[in-house]
Amino acid sequence: MVIADIAQELLDKAEAELRELGGEVLSVAANVTTEEDNSKLADAAIEKFGQINLVAPFAGIIRDGMMVSPDRETGKVTRKMSLSDFQLVIDINLTGVFLTVRECAERMINHNCKGLICLISSTGSLGTAGQINYSSTKAAMSVMPKVITAEFFRRGLADKIRCVAVAPGYVGTAMVKGMNQKALDKILSQVPIGRLIEPGEVAQLVGDIYKNEALAGEVFFIHGGLRLGSKG
Ligand SMILES: NC(=O)c1ccc[n+]([C@@H]2O[C@H](COP(=O)([O-])OP(=O)(O)OC[C@H]3O[C@@H](n4cnc5c(N)ncnc54)[C@H](O)[C@@H]3O)[C@@H](O)[C@H]2O)c1
């Protein structure tokens, strides 16, 4: 397995945990927004393992805020989402994924690999207030599998390289677990199964899709029955 992240300490921790489980691991520090790092990452995978079978470009960030925030008393806009908060989310969650997928797909085709490209969307893809940047990138993750599958189909590659997306609801990663209890309780009140999705349950879904070769071009939600759609 090849793992990549921009944060060296997280990479070291993940590498140590995976080694403990007995896996062969190569970790590569990479900023997914650069062509150079993505190219190096894909080359490193081929060099080490000779093939790429599962691509999971999951790096992603949030920079939440209303597009425009009118003051409740005066009615006048007092705050706006900054261009940098919009752009950074696009750069990492959308451009970064495009670059990782492009570089890995090139190697997969050139090295005659069979496998799956699994993007990560979100229930936010359906539109969440305060996340115009994030929701836009996750909506893009929902359509990319269809585009990529259609392109591979044109070249007779779709039976060898499939592309899908998984779309989680609220997952108990550090980001979500670090929220204050009141915000977390509000989230959980909307989740029929009454708990956060475990990261391992998302990983299990990716593994199941990898094994089931009938699945291609689709988005698979995993949200515990969450009420979907935009809420004010
Ligand atoms: N946690 C959830 O509830 C949830 C729900 C739906 C979708 N997702 C998606 O799952 C993915 C992982 O989210 P998470 O909850 O594990 O968040 P996380 O913050 O724990 O993990 C994101 C990782 O991306 C890395 N990263 C950030 N910028 C990078 C860059 N430029 N280059 C390389 N790595 C970079 C970070 O260092 C971090 O380790 C994201 O794409 C997120 O949008 C999460």
126: Cβ below 6 Å to ligand 1?
no
C-alpha 58 to ligand 1 mean position (Å): 6
Distance 198 CA to ligand 1 centre (A): 14
132-156 mean pLDDT: 98
Of the listed 86, 134, 170, 221, which one is catalytic?
134
Catalytic status, residue 170:
no
Residues 31-222, CATH architecture: 3-Layer(aba) Sandwich (3.40)
* Nearest CA, atom 40, ligand 1: 60
Domain residue spans of the chain: 31-222
Contact 174 CB / ligand 1 (< 6 Å) = yes
> Is 175 near ligand 1, meaning CB less than 6 Å away?
yes
C-alpha 51 to ligand 1 mean position (Å): 25
Convert the pLDDT of each residue in 213-224 to its tens digit. 999 999 999 999
99 lines ligand 1 (CB under 6 A): no
CA dihedral 17, 51, 221, 127 (to 10 degrees): 100
> Nearest 10 degrees: CA dihedral of 71, 76, 78, 81?
100
pLDDT digits (tens, 9 = 90+) for 173-219: 987 887 888 988 988 999 999 999 999 999 999 999 999 999 999 99
Asked if pLDDT for residue 232 goes beyond 60, the answer is no
- C-alpha 180/C-alpha 175 separation (Å) is 11
Confidence of residue 53 (pLDDT cuts 50, 70, 90): very high
Averaged confidence pLDDT in the chain: 95
The overall pTM is greater than 0.85: yes
Positive or negative, the Cα torsion across 60, 142, 116, 200?
A: positive
